Amino acid sequence: MKTERLDKILAAQSTWSRKEVKELVRKGLVTVDGSPAKGADQKVDPDKSCVQVAGRTVPLRIHLYLMMNKPAGVVSASRDDSCPTVVDLVPPELLRQGLFPAGRLDKDTTGMVIITDDGALAHRILSPKSHVPKVYLARLDRPLTPEMAEGFAAGIPLGEEGTTLPAKLEPLEETLARVTLREGMYHQIKRMFAVYGAKVVELRRISMGGLALDESLAPGQCRELTPQEVELLQQR
């Protein structure tokens, strides 16, 4: 792992600005491997160095990857003037600059959201060319029909956006289905079912790529992903 400037990597780990980090260093509040930091431009190895601020160890990570169990009523955004966002729910010890949701869920949709500051990874899992599968549980206001599954498999025209890629619809109960998409048009699942006169009354995302939602997370809770889980997230 290449080394990074102390002020750059500390600012990336937290809500501190680089200017604020420089001030912390000047006051002698920052140590590197047990010794006072020599300066804000000191080079540190994120994999090996132990950095503390005011006696508290700061985990050094180039990027942060969080899985959240999104509750209803929260928007998939970094900031919103009228509604709470998924980033608002990130606990202070995990909060850092530049966090955003990698992909959106509608305000009333629940389930798995990935929050990160890694734009390259977000692009890989969200790009239409990647075809990373996303799996949902959809509850309808009426029984499922064989025609729905056939239509999803063939692709459904959705106006100016064109025809959807083939999707998989698996009936689980009379009104409950597991739906697998490989793209993300606006309100896609709701609009696909609407073609058959059905209304989605509950929608929950349960996986992305090869990574499943951690069901031990209560609504609104999040946790860091392991390196292995980050790899699973990118599986096609």
Mean pLDDT of the 6-35 span: 87
Mean pLDDT for 57-63 is 79
Active site residues: 106
CATH number of the domain where residue 8 is located = 3.10.290.10
Domain range for residue 200? 134-208
Q: Does 177 lie in the same domain as 194?
A: yes
- Domain harbouring 192, CATH code: 3.30.70.1560
**Which of 36-50, 59-73, 197-211 has the highest average model confidence (pLDDT)?**
197-211
Number of domains into which the chain is organized: 3
C-alpha R_g of the chain: 21
d(CA 180, CA 205) in angstroms, rounded, equals: 10
Residues 151 and 197 reside in one and the same domain: yes
Verify that 138 and 109 share a domain, yes or no.
no
Residue 41 is predicted with a pLDDT of 92
Output the pLDDT for position 131: 85
Whether residues 112 and 219 share a domain: the answer is yes
Judgement on whether residues 204 and 218 belong to the same structural domain of the protein: no
Rounded to two decimals, what is the model's pTM? 0.81
Which SS3 state, helix, strand or coil, does residue 8 take?
helix
| Residues 53 and 76 reside in one and the same domain | no
Q: Binning pLDDT at 50, 70 and 90, where does residue 14 land?
A: low
75: confidence class by pLDDT, cuts 50, 70, 90: very high
pLDDT-derived band of residue 10, with 50, 70 and 90 as boundaries?
A: confident
Which long-range contacts link 80-85 to residues 24+ away (Cβ below 8 Å)? 83/107
CATH number for position 109: 3.30.70.580
- 43 and 139 belong to one structural domain: no
